[in-house]
Amino acid sequence: MNPQSAWQTQFSIETAASPEAVWALFRDVQGWPRWNAGIETIALEGPFAAGTGFVMKPPGQDAFRSVLTEVRENECFVDETRIGDLVIAVAHRIEPLSGSCTRVTYSVDARGSEAAEIGPMISADFPDVLAALAAAAEGA
């Protein structure tokens, strides 16, 4: 298989929550399991800033390490996971809309020999995660 194969997708949701309410949930990394069922445990290795790593364990799977590659308050953060030749970047974007609404978008850019197989597995729960995130932010 071509080692440079790529796979991409994105999912969005609109919420009545403010960008700041969504961002507060993003910054509270230890709290992610409360609204993301795909996380059993997570540990941030420093401040919520570019260059900081974290170790996340999905239910029933091995833990893996990711690094925050971009962090822009109330706008977005991007994390990157490397497993062998596979590189998976997940962007979490917050966009204020007119009418006091906010759009939250998760996008995946997977590159490497197993990108087309792993990408869909990683992003399969994103609609549910976004719905739970929006509900948590609206209740904040």
Q: What are the tens digits of pLDDT across the range 129-139?
A: 999 999 999 99
Stretch (H or E) spanning 120: helix 115-123
Give the pLDDT score at 140. Answer: 63
Question: Do 109 and 122 contact (CB within 8 A), yes or no?
Answer: no
The pTM (predicted TM-score) of the whole model is: 0.93
Domains and CATH numbers, the chain: 6-139 (3.30.530.20)
Give the pLDDT score at 98. Answer: 83
Give the pLDDT score at 66. Answer: 98
**How far apart (Å, rounded) are the C-alpha atoms in residues 82 and 67?**
9
pLDDT tens string for the chain (140 positions)?
454 699 999 999 999 999 999 999 999 999 999 999 999 999 999 999 999 999 999 999 999 999 999 999 999 999 999 999 999 999 999 999 987 899 999 999 999 989 999 999 999 999 999 999 999 999 96
Structure tokens, 55 = 């170790």
**How far apart (Å, rounded) are the C-alpha atoms in residues 69 and 35?**
23
